[in-house]
Structure 1
Amino acid sequence: MLRVHSIESFGTHDGPGIRLVVFLQGCKLKCLYCHNPDTIENSGGMEYEIEELVKMAIRMKPYFRQMGGVTVSGGEPLLQAKELIPFFKRLKEEGIHTNVDTNGRVLNNFTKELLDDYADLVMLDIKHMTEEGYEYLTGRRLKETTFNFAAYREASGKNMWLRYVLIPGITNKPELLHAMGKHFKDYKTIEKIEIQPYHKLGIHKWEALGWEYKLKDARENTPEEIAEAKEILEKYFKEVKIN
């Protein structure tokens, strides 16, 4: 059984091709810019049998073609890594591409088995390049857990994408972008980095939960700021995509 927040058919921003995106419930972080804050609490969501989700994916196979497949996101999907193993195993038996969208904080034996044997792709969310910035954005310390996760994936030789939210005055500083590039410049498994310009589309969800949205005064990026970030990152990564 997997505890699922929601399911999106025909997703086009959660990995290669057209994808079935399964958003799982629960996350240990509380990122200030989270646009799905209703996925954070472990309670909530609905329980789905593995085979029920597999059947959904099989029905979508004609639309997947060569590039598409299934992405698990959240919340933090690897909190349910043990349950994801039989799900991804069945998807692989059906010839369906698998992808994990994660913040990289969970690297236990179940996660390692999932990554080593069944996850074709990992999309790793880089929150911030300093400990102080990471704690400010996520409410948690130990940013190194993300980099340990990245190093583990790199050692496996299997594909990885990075994702990074560009927030004016917080994460878009040139020195942070250069620091990220320098940290990952020798990685062979990183196919691309996806930049998500900051937006406020999730504010109403925070308000509905009765939570304070602390970035309400943050502004969106200018076209010039996005172009500058892309230019910096292109010095280090094969492909830089602006979402």
Structure 2
Amino acid sequence: MKQSRTGYVRKLETMGMVDGPGIRTIAFLSGCPLRCLFCHNPDMWRTDPKDAITVDELVTKLKRYKPYYGEEGGVTFCGGEPLNQPEFLYDAMKACKAEGISTCLDTSGFGRVDTFDDILSVTDTILYDIKGLEEKKYREMTSAPLRVTQQFLAKAQEHGVNIWIRVVIVPGFHDTYEYMDELAEYIAPLNNIERIELLPYHTMGVNKYETIGKEYPLDGVPAMNKDTCMELQKYLISEVDRIRKEA
């Protein structure tokens, strides 16, 4: 019998209602190659042997919550960056699909390009985090090249996977209508966009940097005002609709 692949899952959260369609279990895969300035989970950057779990063990746990999923719900794989464990992610998502469980991938789109097709073939919905639209700013924000996530998005378009766009709005970085205009031009031509969400930056992860002995990159930057963020979101969605109608 083939041995079940081992990966690293930091925790599971049940009854999630904002991380994909319906009621979901959230599997947090540890490990992330990005170093986003606004990251609130630096403790998830690296894998830990204590997080080790096989695909069979994970799916056995996920199946317990299947009665709550209904027609729309399922499992969301997030991180860290779940694409950082591509083989384990693929096997786990494939196993979920075999059990009739819907899959959702919460990702920045940064991973090994040669694994994208397999993973997307077993993905029902993508929560796609846009962290920047231009190479220099993207590198400043993530310490990574922009081309990889662009390749992921192109592959997602080829596979026709449903996408929820998500953008963290940091005061002084993204909270302008000019940036909303840029986002609208970027998003409008994309297919299968089911939802567009702007997420207000918060400072709840600051203490985690102290715990791991790291300096917080955005020290002194205040949390994003939620009402202002919602106004920007309304504007962005209206601009995307306008551009599509005029196209």
Note whether the superposition's TM-score is higher than 0.5: yes
Count of residue correspondences: 236
SS at match of 1:234: helix
Local SS of the residue matching 2:232: helix
Backbone CA RMSD of aligned residues: 1.7
Q: 1:111 aligns with which of 108, 116, 120?
A: 116
Deviations 1:197-230 (A, max 9, x none): 0100101111100111121211223355224312
8 Å Cα contact 2:104-2:127 kept in structure 1: yes
What does residue 132 of structure 2 align with? Answer: 128
Residue of structure 2 equivalent to 1:173:
176
Deviates more, 1:10-19 or 1:42-51: 42-51
List runs of 5+ in structure 2 lacking aligned partners.
Answer: 1-5, 242-247
**What's 1:210 paired with?**
213
Aligned to 2:18: 13
Structure 1 runs not aligned, ≥5 long: 239-243
Among 162, 166, 170, the alignment partner of 2:165 is 162
1:22 pairs with 2:27: yes
Q: 1:24 to 1:225 in 2, by over 3 A?
A: same
2:152 matches 1:149 = yes
Structure 2 residue 60 is the aligned partner of structure 1 residue 60: no
Indicate how the Cα distance of structure 1 residues 144 and 174 shifts in structure 2: closer, same or farther if over 3 A, else same: farther
Q: In the alignment, what sits opposite 2:237?
A: 234
Residues 1:36 and 2:41 aligned together? yes
| Corresponding position: 1:93 with 2:98 | yes
Take 1:231 and 1:8, find their aligned partners in 2: how far apart are those partners? 30
CA distance in 2, matches of 1:42, 1:96: 26
Hey, what's the Cα distance between the residues in 2 that align with 1:17 and 1:229? 25
Measured at CA, do residues 21 and 237 of structure 1 come closer, stay the same or move farther in structure 2, by a change above 3 Å?
A: farther
Partner of 1:187: 190
Give the TM-score taking structure 1 as reference length: 0.91
Checking the alignment, whether the CA contact within 8 Å between 1:25 and 1:45 is kept in structure 2 is no
- For residue 175 of structure 2, what is the amino acid of its counterpart? N
